[in-house]
Structure 1
């Protein structure tokens, strides 16, 4: 049995750009960053000559996101999924002020497929946005408890 979800891993192609997005724009904090290589990481991933920089980021509630930037084993530069793709589709983040965050992200050149939408029951205001690697984020402001 599990006792908790430890973290979510996200492979990025540009760690500096990803850290700017996740920390400077969304408010995560770096709690650990390190370069990893050697027999242990090779064995864990079932690969050879792995070189990866990892950064563990904490949300204000303590949940962790791990960014992985591979110097070896490059893959596609962007995630090509959609909200209805099979497998993991998005990360949902609770935000304090959705309109303020949308304005901040828009000023940074981030675009949105549609304006924020209120849920039919009036509980939340929600918007989808793509992060630097194309990963979908669902930003949610709870309006009524």
Structure 2
């Protein structure tokens, strides 16, 4: 298996600027980057501990639908070196994929979501 680390945990938010300020001012996280996803309706921000370079917090604004209180955490992402190889490997393990194909972000990073055993969303993520 080629999972190197937990890449990020995606948290659904309703107001990106308010959430960035909260995580910055209350927890001391710094904004590592932001981007528009897809058609611009979904906004992403990545935050982390200064100098840590490890697991990031991904704030996600713009998804449709409502989540239950316990559903604010949208997904957990795992960094991989070779996304195509990992998808091929886990496809043999009877995993159900959420997306029909790999998604490529504007910065060149690639990912694909799949379900965990209790329906939780998991992501294999290959950095740009």
Q: Shorter-chain TM-score: which interval?
A: 0.3 to 0.5
Q: Taking structure 2 as the reference length, what is the TM-score of the superposition?
A: 0.44
- Return the structure number with greater relative CO, CA threshold 8 A, min gap 6: 2
